Amino acid sequence: MSWSTYASTLIRYPQFGFSLDTSLMDLDDGFLQQMGPKIEKAFADIAALEEGAIANPDEGRMVGHYWLRNPELAPNRELRDAITKPLAELKAFAEKVHTGQIKPPGGGIFQRILLIGIGGSALGPQLVAEAIGHNARMPIHFFDNTDPAGIDRVLSDIGTSGLANTLVVVISKSGGTPETRNGMVEAKAAYDAAGMDFGKHAVAVTGVGSKLDQTATQQGFIARFPMEDWVGGRTSVMSTVGLVPAALQGIDIDAFLAGAAAIDAETRKRDAAKNASMRLALAWYAAGNGKGEKDMVVLPYKDSLVLFSKYLQQLVMESLGKELDLDGKKVNQGIAVYGNKGSTDQHAYVQQLRDGVPNFFATLIEVRKGRHGESIEVEPGNSSGDYLQGFLRGTRKALYDSGRKSVTISIPEVTPFQLGVLIGLFERAVSFYASLVNINAYHQPGVEAAKKAAAVFLDLLGAVRSRLVSESKTAEQI
The residues assigned a catalytic role are 318, 347, 451
Cis amide prior to 470 (ω within 30 degrees): no
For residues 14-52, one letter each, b for 16 or more C-beta atoms within 10 angstroms of the residue's C-beta and e for the rest, the string is eebbbbbbbbbbebeeeeeeebeebbeebbebbeebbeb
Give the number of other CB atoms < 10 A from CB of residue 452. Answer: 10
Amino acid occupying residue 405: K
Q: How deeply is 207 buried, as exposed, middle or buried, from its count of CB atoms within 10 A (0-12, 13-18, 19+)? A: middle
- Cα dihedral 424, 445, 226, 45 sign: positive
DSSP letter, residue 56: B
Residues 6 or more apart in contact with residue 461 via CB below 8 angstroms: none
The span from the CA of 25 to the CA of 458, in Å, is 47
User: Is the torsion defined by CA of 280, 285, 287, 291 positive or negative?
Assistant: positive
- Rg (Cα) of the chain, in Å, rounded? 24
